[in-house]
Amino acid sequence: MAEKSYEEEHPTKAFGWAARDQSGVLSPFKFSRRSTGEKDVRFKVLFCGICHSDLHMAKNEWGTATYPLVPGHEIVGEVTEVGSKVEKFKVGDKVGVGCLVGSCHSCDSCNNNLENYCPKMILTYSTKYHDGTTTYGGYSDSMVTDEHFVIRIPDNLPLDAAAPLLCAGITVYSPLRFFNLDKPGMHVGVVGLGGLGHVAVKFAKAMGVKVTVISTSPKKKQEALEHLGADSFLVSRDQDEMQAAVGTMDGVIDTVSAIHPILPLISLLKTQGKLVLVGAPEKPLELPVFPLIMGRKIVGGSTIGGMKETQEMIDFAAKNNITADIEVISMDYVNTAMERLSKTDVRYRFVIDIGNTMKI
């Protein structure tokens, strides 16, 4: 008789890597997942992207961490079990889970497919689930999630490079759609060429939009134009370049999480243009009102997307061959990756090969 695997012997047991304190250092961690409920999908995690949020949370830099903390909300894998009332998925399907695993299903936001703005939304890790247990993320060998919050990954998308789309991808796709910056021939600026910025360029170009990358680093010009396909490049510290572009853009997607002036970005907008912030600086930005009044310009914000829109985004990515540019790493490299991420030493997203390198 064949010897049973650890998973077969312990059906609700899970294995991952967790931070135990504000040092943010991750180490192996055994814990329990809930049994598969009637509307749950259980899947084997194959890859998980490393989002900058994971670094902030592991170190409790936003003050909301609960330890032990298993990060990860760019999770993809293969279904191993479905509950009796699951309708959309079957064993063997390729699936993903992003930043959300629960919401109230009854508020205005939920009723409008905007679970990401539900006041009672449940994040994929370090929050309380409906049953009072703590949620654990995708730096682990398995996930159990209500099918409503599970995304189907199309067969033509490589799982490793699709994983970051579940956070970075939807974070930029949603504002392009909602603020109507998705019309062919429009001119949109993308501030910052990192994990969010590089996929923003790809999505905007696939929508037929003219894209200008705006960066503090002249070194990124060749990458932006030749590799990512941007139409033009502005060095934000070059006053002559910025002045020449004043009033030329229908919208700007600002992905930068560091403190930075937004007046120069507002100046780039046409009359009735829109500046949308998707980065999250730790301190308030200074908002000059006069330039807004004089041009009927809008400053807005956006965070991820609802489940319907997230599936739409993944399907759009599959149709247009959009993936993240990634560096695949082993599980035991994660602390080094976090150090490199803190220095922005990644092009453009780390993805952990959970399936092949998570050792029990």
Looking up residue 106, the CATH number of its domain turns out to be 3.90.180.10
Instruction: Write out pLDDT tens, residues 307-323.
Output: 999 999 999 999 999 99
Instruction: Write out pLDDT tens, residues 323-356.
Output: 999 999 999 999 999 999 999 899 999 999 999 9
Asked if the structure places residue 63 within a domain, the reply is yes
pLDDT for the residue numbered 282: 81
Percent of the chain with pLDDT over 90: 94
For residue 9, the number of C-alpha atoms closer than 13 Å in the C-beta half-sphere is 5
Same domain, 129 and 227: no
Same domain, 269 and 150: no
Same domain, 107 and 226: no
Length of the chain: 360
Domain boundary among 257, 286, 301: 301
* pLDDT over threshold 70, residue 225: yes
Mean pLDDT value across residues 118-125:
98
Percent of the chain with pLDDT over 70: 97
Same domain, 216 and 154: no
Same domain, 141 and 186: no
Instruction: Write out pLDDT tens, residues 25-83.
Output: 999 999 999 999 999 999 999 999 999 999 999 999 989 999 999 999 999 999 999 99
Same domain, 224 and 331: no
Same domain, 250 and 293: yes
Same domain, 154 and 91: yes
pLDDT for the residue numbered 359: 83
Give the domain extent around 78. 12-166+325-353
CATH number at residue 252: 3.40.50.720
Mean pLDDT value across residues 298-305:
98
If one counts every other C-beta atom within 10 angstroms of the C-beta of residue 113, the result is 14
Place of tokens 């059906």: 11
Total number of domains in the chain: 2
Q: Which residues are CB-neighbours of 202 under 8 A, at least 6 positions away?
A: 228, 229, 322
Same domain, 149 and 176: no
Same domain, 88 and 37: yes
Instruction: Write out pLDDT tens, residues 156-187.
Output: 999 999 999 999 999 999 999 999 999 999 99
Average pLDDT, the chain: 95
pLDDT for the residue numbered 6: 45
Same domain, 193 and 290: yes
